[in-house]
Amino acid sequence: GLVPPSTSGCGRSAEGEVSSKQKVITVDGLTLNGPLHDNKAGELFVDEAFQIIMDEVVKKGCNIKEKVCEWKDPEMLRDLLDLELGDSSEPHEKLLQLCRDVARFSVKTNHPRFFNQLFAGLDHHALVGRFLSDSLNTSQYTYEVGPVFVLMEEVVLTKLRAVIGWNSGDGIFCPGGSISTMYAMNLARYRAFPEVKVRGLWSLPRLALFTSQECHYSVKKSACFLGIGLENVQLSMSITGNLFFSLHLAPQSFGAFDPLDEIADVCQKYQALAWGGSVLLSKKHRHLMTGIDRADSVAWNPHKMMMAGLQCSAFLLKDTSNLLKLCHSANATYLFQQDKFYDISYDTGDKSIQCGRKVDCLKLWLMWKARGTRGMEERVDRAFAYTRYLMDEMKKREGFQLLLEVTQFVNICFWYIPPSLRGQQGQEGYEEKLSKCAEGFGWGGVGGWVHMCWTAEVQEQGSFFLNQDNLTMYFSFSPCQASQLAISNICG
């Protein structure tokens, strides 16, 4: 049951009721100066729910002896969960049980054996940053409503730009790397054809976008969204005209790096775009991104290798002409008044295509404060060391076939060869048989014989979560997502 009402509110008694000395105000049968909700019960719920989060997510979710998930088919899961929304309120204990159920049946992306996506792992300081920003529930569009975070975002963006090698520039945190890609494309188009903001697509010549075959699908989505069109996304330099370039550093499948300096030489006369990542933090490995400082913009997702937690995506610009604001501003006078009592240059909201914008800098800032730049560098170097160790272990074991004997980044791409096909490599029909295995045992359209082996265990035991590339039926994962315990456990 719920506990008694709390002390709260102006003109209310210790129990939260309207003071006997105050006139009760009612409109349409509602008491306007009565308690809006039971604060004492709410505080108790938050306290007990946080304990569930600590026990079921932070502790169990990071324990290699626990399951990655309790996998259920959609129909079964729907029956197990009370998902329907009713007319009446649910009691306190029922709500807490719902929280437990959500944690129980969700995939624990913090788990040492979760390799399915690139945002795995947990940094406790970053997690506290996420808790704090969500608790404060503010938007980062004006200094008056988010003073701490406006200043903090600029400090973090300045630091990231310095890591790239830029002494000045601009930037903004975006709701994911895909939006950063779209920002880069939109700004490149605006810089070349500023009339597009007023006159629209009718004012433009035909545009083209050059990218690599391993480009992230957000390039194609952005081309559709911005009216450029898929037919104008070029995977090779086969046409001439108005264009911009999208370069890729360690794309998700292979982890290969485009040759930035060579491409930058070509891009001198064009609008060049690129994105990169946390390898820049490592003195030992940042040579992989030599030439990144010559790019016009960089999209960087600290929620991946740096484990800042979703979402944390920085879009960084070398530009100092206020291009972000010029391109995206709508000058909404109810938010961005010109006669405020402070320097309105701190109102950054018009740089964004959004109105309300979530605070994404705090988790990265707090994590960086806790670890320091040297600690962040060690995290990157350790990921490379894990990768080398795990590849060496795979070479010792029967059934593992690496696509690449040497990898540039922390991605490991491999086949697992079923016992019935071992020793047949190079024989006629081998690849077709291996492909048939993949097709025959596909699971939900993301198949492959190997994937079936792993996901069957996930379904029944919830002990592992791996990712597969559907294009070539191989597996890839990044050991940077795992702890040392997970690596030693995998390698036995």
More confident: 415 or 78: 78
Q: Is the peptide bond before 311 cis (omega within 30 degrees of 0)?
A: yes
Task: Say if residues 308 and 133 touch (Cβ distance below 8 Å).
Answer: no
Amino acid 291: pLDDT:
84
Q: How far apart are CA 93 and CA 47, in angstroms?
A: 13
CATH number given to 127-367: 3.40.640.10
CATH number given to 380-490: 3.90.1150.170
pTM attached to this predicted model: 0.82
Q: What is the pLDDT of residues 284-324, one digit of tens each?
A: 999 888 888 888 888 899 998 899 999 999 999 999 999 99
* Paired tokens of 21: 């000395």
- Domains of the chain by residue range: 26-67+70-106, 127-367, 380-490
Do domains 127-367 and 380-490 share one topology? The answer is no
In the block, tokens 């503010």 appear at 138
DSSP 224-256: HHTT--GGGEESSS---SEEEEEEEBS-TTT--
Residue 122 to residues 64, 176, 187, 305, 442, Cα–Cα distance (Å)? 13, 18, 34, 11, 31
Q: Which amino acid is at 380?
A: V
Q: What is the pLDDT of residues 9-36, one digit of tens each?
A: 444 444 455 556 678 899 998 888 877 7
Q: What is the pLDDT of residues 354-379, one digit of tens each?
A: 999 999 999 999 999 999 999 999 99
Q: Which amino acid is at 350?
A: D
Residue 280, pLDDT > 60, answer yes
Confidence of residue 454 (pLDDT cuts 50, 70, 90): very low
Q: Is the dihedral of CA 37, 40, 45, 51 positive or negative?
A: positive
More confident: 456 or 386: 386
Confidence of residue 263 (pLDDT cuts 50, 70, 90): low
Residue 468, pLDDT > 90, answer no
Of residues 154, 151, 167, 165, the one with CA closest to residue 320 = 167
Helix H or strand E encompassing 407: none
* Paired tokens of 175: 């709701």
Amino acid 17: pLDDT:
55
More confident: 275 or 203: 203
